[in-house]
Structures are given as C-alpha cells and as structure tokens.
C-alpha cells in the first residue's frame, strides 16, 4: 500500500476486517516487521486519539515513531505554491517534505481543511504534496477531505457489535459552535457504502456531502424518520460542504438544537448503539444521558483506532520488504 486515503486503498473489506481481528488478538506478533523502521507523524492540527493510537500502533509493530507538531516544534510551513514568503512561514513544504522523507520509511499527516477555499481543500493539496515529494508511503491522519483511519476503526467497531447480518447505520448531523471539516462524514459515508450495511444519512438542508463520497445514498431530511429502527447511530457535525452553493463552503448554516442526539431520538431506534469519533461536545452533539448510557460505544470505538492504524502500517511495512 503506497498511500492510505480511500476505502479502495485497503482492498477487500472482508480480508481487512479479518486482519483487524488478528491484529487485535495478537498485537505484538509482527514486532520484527518494524525493526529499524521509522514512521514520522506530522501534525498541523491538534489531536488526542490519532496522535496516541498511531504511536501505539507503530510501537506494537516494533517501529520507531517520531512526532512533529508543525509550527510548535518546527518552523511554520508554507503550503501554497507560488507565493512570496514574506509572512510568518519560514519554510516551504517543497523543501520540508523531501527532508522529512529522507529521515523515515513511512509518513502520517494530519492536516485539516482550511475551510476557506473549497478547490484547495478538495484537491487534497497538502497531502498530495507529501505523496509527490516524500517518495514514502503516506497515511492520512485526517487530511482536508478524508479521515480513513477513523472510518476503518468505525467499521471494525460496527462489525464487533452488530447482531444482524446487515445492520441499519444512520449518520446524523448534529450542531456545533464552530465550523468543522467534512473529512469524518466523507470517509464514514465512503466506507459504509463499501460495507454490507443499510446506510442512511440525515442532515438539515444545505449540508449535502460531496457525491464523490456519498454516492447515491438517499438523504432523509427528517431526522426522526431516518433514525427509526436504526442499529447504530453515528453522530457528527460538519460545516457546509458547498456542493450546491460554493459560496457557503465551510459556513455554519444551522445550529438547531433539536438535532442534538438525546433519549427522544434513541427511543425510535432498535435499541441502537451510539457512536462518535470524539472529541465530542456534550449536550451540543449528544446528551449526557445518551453518551453515558450502556449503548454508547464511543470508548471501544476509539480503542479500535490502534487496530485500524496497525493494519494500515503493517501492510505498508510488508510492501517495503
């Protein structure tokens, strides 16, 4: 595997899930694979789970992880091409990336959407430069439009908890005080479309996700109707993807608190499990009652981030041999 961006990069999902089961059961069985290998994990943005689970996955494989926090530990990096660098950025990605590539075997990059310029974000301008100029396999640790390590962990979790061969999985938008990227819902939709689940999306009008990720999944604008009979409720906020109105890209269009997932919403489901990628704002996205209930699986979901990262790194290391 040369890069990990899309569900297609992991190949057969059944095989990937079987490998995830093996990795979870015997996490230290591939210690030799990573011996004398280094992964550099680059963070342009904050993280708790991705930062820790990626390091843990690398350590489980016998690899040496090195973390770089751009701007805090390093120079601030310019990401736009063709600009006069007379601002606060001391170094350009064009030099920084090949330097980083020369120090390691694998690279992971967290670089959120700027939410200012849809074309810049949706072209994955920063991650594409890492792929082009590093010469090393690159993992998206949430880039402008995707968060594949999260979606893979979500699928592993659904596989573990499902009690029906084809569960109903509902992804619902929920309000948030700040404008958030679309990476998590984009990837979740992409992975659910590839998985054997009955997938439904619900959000207020104007929040339509890019068809590149949602395909032909029908959006049910009535949240309560969408949630009826659900086996899994996956809550997430995202800002306007700007699909039909590019001028609204990255904007907050709605803060309707009726969309906060609470007991009233869960009551119409089939005793669904509640999921969220975390970090979550309590009583904005989900009520205390729901996230504290026995049906909330947000902690095992987060724990599976080690498993998904380890499968991806393991495959990349195997391909280096």
Does residue 317 contact residue 35 with C-beta atoms inside 8 Å?
Answer: no
Stretch binding ligand AN0 (CB under 6 A), from 52-60, 130-138, 181-189, 216-224? 181-189
Q: Which residues in 16-75 contact ligand CP (CB under 6 A)?
A: 47-50
Pick from 150, 172, 296, 308: which binds ligand CP (CB under 6 A)? 150
As a whole number of angstroms, the distance between CA 142 and CA 49 comes to: 11
Q: Which CB sits closer to ligand AN0, 112 or 273?
A: 112
As a whole number of angstroms, the distance between CA 103 and CA 66 comes to: 10
Q: Which residues in 182-201 contact ligand AN0 (CB under 6 A)?
A: 183-184
For the CB of residue 141, give the shortest distance to ligand CP in the complex, in Å: 7
The Cα angle at residue 43 between residues 39 and 49, in degrees rounded to 5: 85
Q: Which residues in 265-284 contact ligand AN0 (CB under 6 A)?
A: 277, 279
How many residues line the site for ligand AN0 (CB under 6 A)? 7
Cα–Cα distance list, 10 to 3, 7, 53, 91, 252 (Å): 10, 6, 19, 33, 33
Q: Which CB sits closer to ligand AN0, 217 or 278?
A: 278
Residue 99 interacting partner from ligand CP, ligand AN0, none (CB closer than 5 to 8 Å by kind): none
What lies within 8 Å, CB to CB, of 201 at 6+ separation is 170, 171, 172, 185, 189, 209, 214, 217, 218, 219, 220, 226
- Say which residue the tokens 């592993």 belong to: 156
Q: Which residues in 117-146 contact ligand CP (CB under 6 A)?
A: 142
For the CB of residue 201, give the shortest distance to ligand AN0 in the complex, in Å: 16
Q: Which residue is nearest to ligand AN0 (CB)?
A: 180
Q: Which CB sits closer to ligand AN0, 33 or 52?
A: 52
Using alpha carbons, select from 85, 38, 95 the residue that is nearest to residue 61.
Answer: 38
Pick from 180, 235, 243, 311: which binds ligand AN0 (CB under 6 A)? 180
Residue 48 interacting partner from ligand AN0, ligand CP, none (CB closer than 5 to 8 Å by kind): ligand CP
Q: Which CB sits closer to ligand AN0, 101 or 206?
A: 206
As a whole number of angstroms, the distance between CA 271 and CA 296 comes to: 11
Cα–Cα distance list, 105 to 73, 170, 257, 275 (Å): 21, 38, 46, 34
**How is residue 113 written in tokens?**
């959407």
Does residue number 279 form part of the binding site for ligand CP (CB under 6 A)? Answer: yes
Residue 267 interacting partner from ligand AN0, ligand CP, none (CB closer than 5 to 8 Å by kind): none
Beta strands 273-275 and 232-236: pairing type?
Answer: parallel
As a whole number of angstroms, the distance between CA 233 and CA 287 comes to: 13
Q: Which CB sits closer to ligand AN0, 37 or 305?
A: 305
Pick from 67, 278, 280, 284: which binds ligand CP (CB under 6 A)? 278
What lies within 8 Å, CB to CB, of 60 at 6+ separation is 27, 28, 30, 31, 306, 310
For the CB of residue 74, give the shortest distance to ligand CP in the complex, in Å: 19
Interface positions with ligand AN0 (CB under 6 A): 142, 180-181, 183-184, 277, 279
Interface positions with ligand CP (CB under 6 A): 47-50, 142, 150, 277-279
């Amino acid at each position: 595997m040369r890069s990990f961006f899309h569900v297609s990069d992991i190949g057969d999902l059944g095989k990937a899930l079987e490998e995830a089961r093996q990795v979870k059961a015997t996490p230290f069985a591939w210690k030799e694979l990573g011996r004398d290998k280094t992964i550099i994990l680059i963070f342009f943005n904050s993280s708790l789970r991705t930062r820790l689970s990626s390091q843990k996955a690398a350590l489980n494989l016998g690899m040496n992880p090195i973390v770089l926090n751009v701007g805090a530990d390093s120079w601030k990096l310019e990401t736009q091409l063709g600009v006069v660098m007379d601002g606060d950025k001391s170094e350009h990605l064009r030099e920084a990336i090949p330097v980083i590539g020369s120090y390691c075997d694998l690279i992971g990059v967290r670089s959120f959407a700027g939410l200012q310029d849809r074309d810049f974000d949706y072209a994955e301008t920063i991650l594409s430069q890492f792929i082009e100029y590093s010469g090393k396999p690159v993992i998206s640790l949430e880039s402008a439009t995707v968060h594949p390590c999260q979606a893979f962990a979500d699928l592993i979790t659904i596989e573990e908890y499902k009690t029906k061969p084809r569960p109903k999985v509902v992804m619902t938008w929920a309000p948030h005080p700040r404008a958030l990227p679309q990476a998590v819902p984009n990837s979740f939709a992409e992975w659910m479309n590839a998985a054997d689940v009955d997938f439904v999306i619900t959000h207020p009008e104007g929040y339509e996700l890019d068809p590149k990720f949602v395909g032909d999944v029908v959006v049910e604008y009535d949240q309560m109707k969408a949630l009826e009979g659900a086996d899994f409720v996956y809550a997430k906020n995202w800002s306007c993807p700007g699909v039909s109105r590019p001028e609204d890209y990255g904007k907050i269009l709605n803060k309707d608190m009726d969309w906060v997932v609470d007991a009233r919403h869960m009551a119409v489901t089939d005793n669904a499990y509640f999921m969220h990628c975390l970090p979550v704002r309590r009583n904005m996205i989900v009520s205390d009652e729901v996230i504290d209930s026995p049906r909330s699986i947000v902690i095992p979901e987060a724990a599976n981030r080690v498993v998904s990262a380890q499968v991806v790194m393991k495959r990349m290391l195997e391909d280096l041999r």
